[in-house]
Homo-oligomer: A and B are copies of this chain.
């Protein structure tokens, strides 16, 4: 695959793409009124519900960004993907999957019920809270900072800078995320945690509070689209096997209990967070050569007004529109 070349039809210029995306961001921005900003973490509730931004970074060297792209936001549940990857890199895929399953649940992300029914004897998947907290407990290190250091190093490798923790969000989350403490104790009782529960939860709240932009998500998504290889250097920074597994999980479990609908209507691996961020990944495809991103791309979206599943209400619609029109689907 030749990287960096623009190879679509001459009529589809970058200017045309930019103006196309601008139009649709403007169009879908109206939809932000139908949702609501997350309220359960007070700090998140300060977000501007009208914001909507998107960044698309293609393997063809083209970057399109539009809307509110400069607003930093915390990654929240998007961190579940990154920590899952780090845990697999540190412990090996088998070790992690022996302790967390990879089945979608049909239940809400913060469900405890499935643990009690114990159909699976482990959390259903690493993207429901029970699974993500279990994954955080597997990270190497004695403190939450030690545990997250490899994640910061990985992010810095991909982004070229070390993202910061939003301390206000972290503290807000730590002090108010009661359900996660209930889940933590439940996991502790089931003996699923590999580290001290308080350090695990501290790790979890910190990983959720890493601050980033849509450009960053798109850049990371592009690495995922390239199976873990840095498109600039050609160096593998995440093992292919692990990034593939992560993408499969994003497709089946990435969008809370609307994951099935997202797979059906959009058809690309993605993970959302309650801050309104979404990371999406379009792997390279054989398609009509006139399509702009057949070589693959990473996409970052931000739109803090959420639907009732906890996904960015306008972000999902924007993604669906673009993925359909530009045929990004993996299917």
Contact of A252 among B101, B104, B111, B294 (CB under 8 A): B104
Among residues 271 to 305 in chain A, which have CB atoms less than 8 Å away from a CB atom of chain B?
283-286, 294-296
Given A112-B113, A251-B251, A286-B284, A260-B103 contact (CB < 8 Å): yes
Q: Is A125 an interface residue (CB 8 A)?
A: yes
Contact yes or no, A185 B189, CB < 8 A: no
Residue A116, interface by CB 8 Å? yes
Partner of A103, one of B124, B258, B331: B258
Check if A117 is an interface residue, CB within 8 A of chain B. yes
Interface contact B257-A103, CB-CB below 8 Å: yes
CB-defined contacts of A182 to chain B, threshold 8 Å = 112, 182-186, 188-189
A159 within 8 A of B: no
Cα separation A117 to B118 with both chains bound (whole Å): 11
Docked-complex contact B181 and A331, CB < 8 angstroms: no
Quick one: closest B residue to A111, CB to CB? B116
Q: How many copies does the complex hold?
A: 4
User: How far, in Å, is A307 (CB) from chain B's closest CB?
Assistant: 14
Contact partners of A244 in chain B: CB under 8 A: 267, 329, 331
The 16 sampled A-B contact pairs (Cβ below 8 Å) are A101-B261, A102-B264, A103-B104, A103-B258, A104-B105, A104-B252, A106-B114, A182-B185, A185-B185, A249-B260, A251-B252, A251-B331, A269-B331, A283-B331, A286-B286, A286-B295
Residues from chain B with a CB closer than 8 A to the CB of A184 are 182
The interface centre, meaning the residue of A178, A183, A259, A285 with most chain B CB atoms within 10 A of its CB, is A178
Interchain nearest-CB distance for A256 vs B (Å)? 10
- In angstroms, Cα B283 to Cα A294, docked, is 14
* Besides A103-B257, A179-B186, A285-B285, 18 new A-B residue pairs in contact (Cβ under 8 A), listed by A number: A1-B286, A101-B261, A103-B104, A103-B259, A104-B105, A104-B106, A104-B252, A106-B107, A113-B113, A182-B183, A182-B184, A245-B264, A247-B331, A248-B267, A249-B264, A251-B252, A251-B331, A286-B295
Contact A103 B106 (CB under 8 A): yes
Known: A189-B179, A248-B267, A284-B285. A103 touches B261 (CB 8 A): yes
Could you tell me the distance between the alpha carbons of A106 and B285 in the complex, rounded to whole angstroms?
Answer: 30
